[in-house]
Structure 1
Amino acid sequence: MESLTLGKVFNILRNNLKIILLFTITGLIIGAFYAVTVFKPIYKSTAKLLIKNNTPTEYITALGAGNDLTALSRSGNPVLTQMQIITSGVLSDTVWQEISKKYKFQDDPKVGASLMQKAISVQNPVGTDIIEITAKWSSPKIAADIANGFATAYIGGNVDQSKQGLVQSQATISKELLTAQASLATVREKIRHFRQTNSTVNLEVESANIVDQISNLENRYHEMVASAGAEKNRVSSIAEKLGIDWHNAINSVALGHNANITAIQTRLGEAEEELAGLSTKYAPTHPAMIAVNSRIGQIRGELADQIRQTVGGSLENAQEILISDPVRTSMMESLVASEASYRGLAAQSGALRSAIQSLQARKAAIPNKQLALSNLLQEEANLALIVNTLKAKQLETGIRESGIISNISMIDLPSVPLNPAFPGRTQIAAMFAMFGALLGIASVMVMYLTKDTYDEVEQIEEELKAPVLGVIPWLDKQTYNEPNALLAIDDNASYYSLAYQRVVSSLRIRGYNTSSKSFVFSSTEFSKSRSTVLMNIAYGLSRAGRSVIVVDADFRTPSIHKEFGIKPNEQFSLAELLTSITKEVKETGEFNWRYLSYFVHELSEAPNLCIIPNIGNISDPNEFLYSPAFNVLIQKLKEQYDWVLIDTPPALAVSDAVTTSSYTDGVILISGLETTRSVLKKVSRLFSNYHIPIFGVVAREVQNSEAVLSNEYIKQIISNMMPEEESTLIKK
């Protein structure tokens, strides 16, 4: 499929603008006729209603299994509900009765109601509480009456429906309210009992306090453990220096010699345990904490005094322990004091450990309590919302009972339209014209895509994968009346000659770049114009000072000798030459190439151009084409001439072109732009299958009589530009 660019599409449409205009005008005429004779304009009239939010938000409540209230949910979109009501059959029946009575319509009521439903459309502008009722009818007044009838009937029906449902709403609301209040009271009692049982009002605050207390107690516990370890190490160090067992020394001093020390230690331990208990409940600055700390300080002072007294009397009176210096006395006092401090700290750390474990147990139980309390509070909130909503509904029904008003008002009355709705007669004609233009564009594109010929030489290049050497503007002999039609390239003032010159230049450049000099000329069509194009190209090459020989290898219908007026002589034709070569090579082993000149004809008008004609009509030339003599001949000609051009029949007619091309450097195809795509694909596939390169393409473009007039005009211009002696050489 050929790729189409936007620019190419515009060019196609511009070139076929007449077809598009024809379709457009035809569509406009048909549209105008339809609009005047058949089309009936439609008129629209619109009434606008405002849905006022006079009622509180609607809720739906229901009792489930076990008399548990289900969750609340909103009732749907009220505006969409109203729109469905307006288009219902009830209002259509009411409006049809009024319209049929006013305008004397005799249609069946069911048919009339259906017409009313089809005549209206209901819309809700986005983001508003407005409903637009639009009626369409062929009569502007009836359209306005239909819109007004639907709006009026809907407003009246809304009021009636509100009155009928009021009594039922009051009874239902009262029943639901009693049930909800009883359920709410039960839940609140459960919440009160839960808080009393767990001694808490706010579990989150309590949880935070417990975390803080655990953190503080753990810090104090680690401090006391560290201090107790330090005191224990100190006791061991002093006992080691005194050289006595420190347990015996302390027992003898603190317990054995003085009962007061034991009593004081007991009091100190009790005070420190009391301090540890209070620290779990109160801050250090609490009065109770301050009083206990003060008492502990006094007890420690008494313990120190008693130790000094006891140590001095015990050591002087003891027989087994001799204390004769105050240093040992001081060390003994330090020993006793450190042991007392160690025991006190150990007791405090044990109390703190117990307090921490108790707080951690309370903390672990909080999530379960919190979940239970949260469920109760959520249930209380739901029931409270239900109760408040039902109370509001109960109050609302009381207000409505005193005076019911509609929550729908008409803010825009339907008016009688002056102009028909879209599309009117003018728009119908324009739409037909637009449709005609689109149809014309589609037709042009379909014609282009389905056309089996080419419009541009680039398409031929893409199909054959070979360059186009040039485009020859072709004229048949009935149109082109030049005296020497065959050698059009010799007509210097003709743009046909310029076209051939471009082909010759392309062939010379491409042949030089590829070192190619022998070519088979064949055509994609069943036309003899191939021979004419070939001779003009050969003539152009010869004028450049190069030797050129043309071999007429069309054994079936040879024509080159006819074009140049060469008298037929079967003894000196190509067929006879090949036969002679084959015979002499077979008899003597080689051919005397001096006899080649008998078969070669030189043209008087082109000294460097020679022809080997073919005279006879041979139906099956394969014996010549496949013979080794043909290949030998071509190779010999390539040695003696600069260019060897071979004329063969059309490529698709017979296999002559394929066979002959195997002896040369390639094939040059002559193809018209009117050649179909399918034919060109077959030709390309034919040469590709035999690996024969297509050296180039010469495209023919069919011209008309206007091209002849253009050619004459170019002659006159060039003639006026040349000197007088040169202009006389130009053919008139």
Structure 2
Amino acid sequence: MGTRVNLMHETPAPAEGRRRRTDEGPGGAARQARTDDALDLMAILRMLWRRRAIILGTIVVFMVLATLMLVQVSPRYTATALLTLEARQESVIDIEAVMSGLSPDASVINTELDVLQSGRLLGKLVDARNLTDDPEFNSALRPPNPIVQYLDPRTYIPPEWLTALGLSPEAGPVLSEAEQRARQRNRVIDAVGAALSVSNPDRSYTIRVSFETGSPDKSAALANTLADLYLTDQLEAKFEAIERATRWLGTRIGDLRQRVREAEVAVQRFREENQIIQASERVTVSEQQLAELNSQLITAQNDLTAAEARYAQVRDLADRGAISALGAVLDSALVQRLREQEAQIQQRRAEISNRYGERHPEVSKVNAELQDIRGKIAVEVNRIVAGMGNEVQVARGRVKALETRLDALKATSSNVEAARVELRELEREAESSRVLLENFLSRSKETASQEGLQQADARIISEAKPPAAPSYPKKKLVLAVVLVLASAVGVGLAILLEALDRGYRSLDHVQRDTGVTGLGMVPRLPRGKLRGKAPFDYVVRSPTSAYAEALRSAFNTLTYGRTPPPRTVLVTSSLPGEGKTTLGLCLARLLARAGDRRVLFIEADLRRGRVWPTLSGRAKAKRDEDRAPTLDAYLSGAEARWQACVITDEVSNLDLILGSGQGRDVQTLLRSDRMAHLVEAAREQYNLVLIDSPPVLAVSDAIVLSRLADTTVLVVQWAAMARDGVKSAVAMLDKADVEIGGAVMTQVDLRKHSRYGYGDYASYYGQYGHYYAN
């Protein structure tokens, strides 16, 4: 054994390597599974299950507080009236309204929302419902809250101190009664505005008007009243607009009438001053005379031309002697009668000449008649020609007279036209004033006709009804939120407590934090089972109990699968009180009682020997003395043979070497060759040597003794030992290159452990108790 220890010192393996080999041992697969389960959801659920009491307690406390709060809070009721803006306007008469309807776009809807919440409209509501006398809105009418007064520190401070500290309200200016009422009304309006909620759903012309008060009937009444006031306000605005328009139109019409009158008088006066007489609607007398005279002149000129043409023709015919062929001559009735007489006389002359001859007196008589007729014809023709000459002179004189008159009339007309330019300007001004007057008269009539046709730009589509249930507090919602929050707080507390829990409650925790294999969990023995006996007595008396089976399971996990199995096992712990000595002694008695192996228990804790006081009266030494020599006696050389220090437990046939508990220079003794010789010799004579060593963090004896053992078992007390202590102990053993065979958890409260829901085999001890004889 000494040689083996020296070899270990010559080729020390790193701590990680020793631990890795440990992982490759019997518990390697379990530790690998533990790594894979580090983020397993089941681990979280088990943690929550372990802390379910704090979670449920937190939920119960929060729910009770929330219920008490809901009972104390005064309920509030919300009633809603629905309005809609009219996108379609009815037109009874086809005239333009004085105030057109609303265009229901987003900006107009937002404006109407502001109108509904305006102080002017809310003031009308306050006056209509007499809300200044309502204590809910008028805080001056509410009695003071005694709790608030009790909690207000100013109640207990003298007034002069408050004044000195500047905490007393300063006296303001003295207000008249009307000013006080006005301020009170403004405060009530603000309170009503706080209870009002106005909204417009997206893509809708609907407006929701909601009131939240302590009474369902009041909420509905306020919402409906405000909706009615809003519609009435719209109509009043239109009527006021019509009234203003009518007044303005009346004033303008009066002014325009005066202007028209003055303009028409000016036109008439100008006509008279400039002698502009209107013959018709569009023509003046001078224009008409000028046109008629011009027409006469043209006619006269045409007549003159015709007369001159006829006279020229007569003169031409006269020069050729063919005057009788003149059409005027031919057309004369006198000439025609004279021609007929001439023809008759010529016929009679011809008859007389044929009958009597040319020389007959009758022929001369007839010739004298013929000459007389022809003289008359010539006189008539000359008269006609002279008449035609006179016609030319008359026509020429008429033309000249007309031209003279026309020139005079043109001069007069030119002056009139110059005056007519100014006259037309006066007429246009008068006409524009007249048209404007007519338009205003027509608009005034239209405006007057609209008074009875006005309608609001919105309408109520749903009146507010008294709500059956309060809107505040929403008990179900509050309780649901509180339940969620309480659950979150409970889970947070559970996580916090789990993080603050410095003790190990499962071998998985030990494996996760230290990498040491978990060998087993030994249950705590209640006093009812011990019946005044020690645990090592109970394990002998009840070898098939759960306690005994836990010890066997831990030992089997340590030894099975290891070749060769360890024959010297060091049992230690981080700190005193974790049950390492009890565990080692119980395991040793249990294995020795089985009879299939020889077991030696060495109490190597030379500083605090406690096994002998416990075993006194139960174990009997082979020698006659009451107590055999102790281990430190052999190590110090006081006893030559280590076999002399062995005592035998007759009940279990266990051999023990005990310490005195009063050793000095303990580490010198433990490092001595006699100690190494003892362990090596015991390995040859016994199948299993269990060495009970002091705690690792208390003294370094365990590290010294670990050099003599095949493996070391670390005892961890369930839920009591701080994790940092266990980690420190493992770190010290790793630095000393100690092979840690595994950890055994002792004093496990099986009932609590099963409730924690770790799911390990210790959780099922209670469920399968019929397998054990406790």
Instruction: Tell me the amino acid that sits aligned with residue 502 of structure 1.
Output: S
- CA separation in 2, counterparts of 1:457 and 1:711? 15
In 1, are the aligned partners of 2:78 and 2:216 still within 8 Å (CA)?
yes
TM-superposed deviation, 1:518: 2.3
Structure-2 change in CA distance of 1:77 and 1:413 (3 Å): same
Aligned position for 2:634 = 577
- State which drifts further: 126-135 or 82-91: 82-91
- State which drifts further: 517-526 or 595-604: 595-604
Structure-2 change in CA distance of 1:705 and 1:617 (3 Å): farther
**Is residue 702 of structure 2 the alignment partner of residue 651 of structure 1?**
no
Structure-2 change in CA distance of 1:401 and 1:692 (3 Å): farther
Aligned position for 2:212 = 136
- CA separation in 1, counterparts of 2:526 and 2:613? 17
Aligned position for 1:699 = 745
Which one of 197, 201, 204 corresponds to residue 125 of structure 1? 201
- CA separation in 2, counterparts of 1:640 and 1:553? 19
TM-superposed deviation, 1:507: 2.3
Aligned position for 1:518 = 568
**Is residue 636 of structure 2 the alignment partner of residue 560 of structure 1?**
no
Which one of 694, 698, 708 corresponds to residue 663 of structure 1? 708
Aligned position for 2:17 = none
**Is residue 59 of structure 2 the alignment partner of residue 52 of structure 1?**
no
Aligned position for 1:684 = 730
Structure-2 change in CA distance of 1:699 and 1:92 (3 Å): same
Q: What percent of counterpart residues are identical?
A: 19
Aligned position for 2:372 = none
Instruction: Tell me the amino acid that sits aligned with residue 116 of structure 1.
Output: V
- CA separation in 2, counterparts of 1:630 and 1:20? 55
TM-superposed deviation, 1:45: 0.9
- CA separation in 1, counterparts of 2:240 and 2:702? 101
- CA separation in 2, counterparts of 1:400 and 1:611? 127
Structure-2 change in CA distance of 1:639 and 1:39 (3 Å): same
TM-superposed deviation, 1:98: 2.4
3-state SS of paired residue (1:580): coil
- CA separation in 2, counterparts of 1:92 and 1:669? 81
Give the TM-score of the pair, scaled to structure 2.
0.51
- CA separation in 1, counterparts of 2:495 and 2:766? 36
In 1, are the aligned partners of 2:646 and 2:657 still within 8 Å (CA)?
yes
Aligned position for 2:465 = 415
Q: Which has the higher contact order (CA 8 A, sep 6+)?
A: 2
Instruction: Tell me the amino acid that sits aligned with residue 80 of structure 1.
Output: N
Aligned position for 2:331 = none
**Is residue 596 of structure 2 the alignment partner of residue 545 of structure 1?**
yes
- CA separation in 2, counterparts of 1:11 and 1:713? 18
Structure-2 change in CA distance of 1:401 and 1:639 (3 Å): farther
Query: Deviation string for 1:544-597 (max 9, x for gaps)?
Result: 63333222110111123334446688983222322339x9xxxxxxxx9xx342
Instruction: Tell me the amino acid that sits aligned with residue 574 of structure 2.
Output: T
TM-superposed deviation, 1:653: 1.6
3-state SS of paired residue (2:536): coil
Instruction: Tell me the amino acid that sits aligned with residue 549 of structure 2.
Output: L
Aligned position for 2:518 = 468
In 2, are the aligned partners of 1:489 and 1:498 still within 8 Å (CA)?
no
- CA separation in 2, counterparts of 1:484 and 1:86? 87
Query: Deviation string for 1:181-226 (max 9, x for gaps)?
Result: xxxxxxxxxxxxxxxxxxxxxxxxxxxxxxxxxxxxxxxxxxxxxx
- CA separation in 1, counterparts of 2:680 and 2:668? 18
3-state SS of paired residue (2:81): strand
Query: Deviation string for 1:132-155 (max 9, x for gaps)?
Result: 111000022221232123323333
Structure-2 change in CA distance of 1:401 and 1:87 (3 Å): farther
Structure-2 change in CA distance of 1:163 and 1:602 (3 Å): same
Instruction: Tell me the amino acid that sits aligned with residue 644 of structure 2.
Output: Y
Query: Deviation string for 1:7-53 (max 9, x for gaps)?
Result: 455555556656655555555555555444x3211111111111222
Correspondences of 1:17-36 after superposition (within 5 Å): 30-36=65-71
In 2, are the aligned partners of 1:43 and 1:138 still within 8 Å (CA)?
yes
- CA separation in 1, counterparts of 2:79 and 2:766? 72
In 2, are the aligned partners of 1:503 and 1:537 still within 8 Å (CA)?
no
Aligned position for 1:97 = 127
TM-superposed deviation, 1:530: 1.7
CA-based RMSD: 4.5
Aligned position for 1:113 = 189
3-state SS of paired residue (1:696): strand
- CA separation in 1, counterparts of 2:766 and 2:237? 96
TM-superposed deviation, 1:695: 1.0
Aligned position for 2:404 = none
Unaligned runs of 5+ in 2: 1-34, 91-103, 141-183, 246-442, 755-763
Aligned position for 1:457 = 507
- CA separation in 1, counterparts of 2:544 and 2:447? 108
- CA separation in 2, counterparts of 1:696 and 1:432? 46
Query: Deviation string for 1:246-300 (max 9, x for gaps)?
Result: xxxxxxxxxxxxxxxxxxxxxxxxxxxxxxxxxxxxxxxxxxxxxxxxxxxxxxx
In 2, are the aligned partners of 1:517 and 1:665 still within 8 Å (CA)?
yes
Query: Deviation string for 1:407-452 (max 9, x for gaps)?
Result: 2211111223343224367877787777666655554454344322
Aligned position for 1:367 = none
**Is residue 555 of structure 2 the alignment partner of residue 504 of structure 1?**
yes
- CA separation in 2, counterparts of 1:505 and 1:33? 58
- CA separation in 1, counterparts of 2:693 and 2:567? 17
3-state SS of paired residue (1:598): helix
**Is residue 110 of structure 2 the alignment partner of residue 80 of structure 1?**
yes
Structure-2 change in CA distance of 1:698 and 1:488 (3 Å): farther
TM-superposed deviation, 1:456: 2.5
TM-superposed deviation, 1:157: 3.9
TM-superposed deviation, 1:534: 0.5
TM-superposed deviation, 1:76: 5.0
- CA separation in 1, counterparts of 2:204 and 2:455? 21
- CA separation in 1, counterparts of 2:582 and 2:666? 22
TM-superposed deviation, 1:645: 1.9
- CA separation in 2, counterparts of 1:42 and 1:472? 61
Correspondences of 1:581-600 after superposition (within 5 Å): 595-600=641-646
Instruction: Tell me the amino acid that sits aligned with residue 667 of structure 2.
Output: N
Give the TM-score of the pair, scaled to structure 1.
0.54
- CA separation in 2, counterparts of 1:509 and 1:580? 38
TM-superposed deviation, 1:617: 0.7
Greater Rg by CA: 2
How many aligned positions are there? 460
3-state SS of paired residue (1:519): strand
3-state SS of paired residue (2:708): coil
Which one of 652, 655, 674 corresponds to residue 610 of structure 1? 655
- CA separation in 1, counterparts of 2:751 and 2:605? 32
